[in-house]
Structure 1
């Protein structure tokens, strides 16, 4: 076989091999997509995922099924996705825990957050607020801090789970205010909120996505918010910086991951549909109701945000001494 014939044969073989993928590119998605949520149903992460899944289902033309896989500080859900086939049919909601915290909290993880995932796109972020049960004796932040300092070890706080943004927010708060408040982890935001409202646990850091309605209704008292500026939804609530705890911005952020090795066209399609979903009235209303700031952008921007937050929180977590294994 001469060189010209060989090259022609190779070209034909390459075209034959590429044809199935070319067809797959044009067909994606052609089956149901599983969206893993590493928290129980009912919390803010779950509600947001379901709202986005419905918006994206319409434009993708395929069913998106939410698969709640809580546990192990989101590591259970993250490991499922990291080990999934990289075909675009298994994705997940990932927050600070997967993206920035756990690599500093665990000596060994079943995944590497910077290498074992395909970053699809950021969803949004929302601040966390320090809240107490309405019957708690502290009426404002100053009196809460005084109470905590006068009663070291006697005050408990709830969180949706070990390693959650809510957990780390309070640990940073304790470190910077010299207080000793005992952590009571729950399996998700909903049961943690229920016990704070019921008075079983007096306080917690609560994200606006899960708790804005109970904050506005008075079912919990909001003492301070961990944003750079006051929230338009809670204009009378001071920031942590305003009440004397500087450099304490605490926010939860979320995005969508898939397993490492997702084909570029699949990533771009999912990213495009995610960004498109932010313009739908239903998603815009949900985000507004939750005090959530949408973060449309590229996969590269999402990856850069996650790595920057990991670098910011690494020294904070080390200073608190929190380890989860």
Structure 2
């Protein structure tokens, strides 16, 4: 006879439940499963938690590394293809020559082609509008003069672009000094005598410029205001035609720029009585500045600059600006610019923005007050 089992016996249909195994696929709740795993395998639960912490730490490290090194790698990789430098005047003009000279040096530094693309027309607004609507990646930049990024806001009732909104400053290129010049046979040696005669008989002194609304015209209007002159303006289609007529004695006086006039000055065909600079120019010894003689109080803007489409990444702007400054600091580039009558102006993006902001507060208002328009 068999011995009875000690204690109460389980019913025959009630099988004993085996201990849960991690990874068991029986349909129990997630919480129940985890609790059972931890209860029967505490050493695996601790290892699991340590592995999770290590994974989290590794993920955070990767994110931080990307945040720190991402922009630097982006900056180092720019430029990785050719850059297009848009010029709003025909090939062979002053802005075009300066852009090609500086661009050649920049492409040597960056080891990438920098291609000048001339898009003349509509007072440089065609070129400006093209760049304003280009992809803001640094691969399309614009050589801009004061007319493009400043005067145009007053000269046109409606522009296809907004200079302040649509452009980011890269840096200044060069200043092209403006001059008050006469025919060598005019008999004038002192600008103060010329100004006195202009006040006495203004009808005898029409003044030629390279065109309506440009830096030369704005400088003339400023001189008229400051020196209390009432002079007729004779706008030409370009500086070359104005120079020819002054040298031929057709027009007695002109506002010229040193870049286009320097050869004629050296050849004795044009006489400069004063400059619009703050200080006398080393290229023109003995020629005073209008500011120095208290005939004007400030220098009208006559600089060339470089801008890129707005929203171009700051690190790309910084790269372009540093390369531009480096190129303008090159001795050969500086010598060639000065031979052309231009003054190199290596500046940061921030310095250009400061100059631009100051000038925007002054010169468009002068143009509007004179009723000058190109519409």
* Structure showing greater relative contact order (alpha-carbon pairs closer than 8 Å, 6 or more residues apart): 1
Deviates more, 1:99-108 or 1:266-275: 99-108
Q: What is the aligned partner in structure 2 of residue 269 from structure 1?
A: 319
- State how many pairs are aligned: 322
Q: Is the 8 A contact 1:132 1:204 kept in 2?
A: yes
Q: After TM superposition, give the deviation of residue 150 of structure 1 in Å.
A: 5.1
Output aligned runs, 1:1-325, within 5 Å: 25-136=75-186, 138-149=188-199, 151-153=201-203, 155-243=205-293, 245-325=295-375
- TM-score (norm: length of structure 2): 0.74
Distance apart, 1:91 and its partner CA: 0.9
Q: TM-score with structure 1 length normalisation?
A: 0.84
Cα distance change of structure 1 residues 78 and 234 upon mapping to structure 2, 3 Å threshold: same
The answer to which structure has the higher strand fraction is 1
CA distance in 1, matches of 2:293, 2:70: 61
Range that drifts further, 114-123 or 175-184: 175-184
| Distance (whole Å) between structure 1 residues aligned to residue 112 and residue 258 of structure 2 | 30
Residue-by-residue CA offset, 1:239-287 (whole Å, 9 max, x unaligned): 2145551314334112101111212232122111101112222211023
Residues in 2 aligned to 1:156 and 1:69: alpha-carbon distance in whole angstroms: 32
Taking the aligned partners of 1:194 and 1:60, their CA distance within structure 2 comes to 41
Unaligned runs of at least 5 residues, structure 2: 1-53
2: CA distance, partners of 1:323 / 1:238: 32
**Aligned CA-pair RMSD:** 3.4
Alpha-carbon distance between aligned partners in 2 of 1:202 and 1:106, rounded to the nearest angstrom: 30
Further displaced range: 156-165 or 231-240: 156-165
Distance of aligned partners of 1:255 and 1:241 in 2 relative to their CA distance in 1, 3 Å threshold: closer
Where does structure 1 lack aligned partners over 5 or more consecutive residues? none
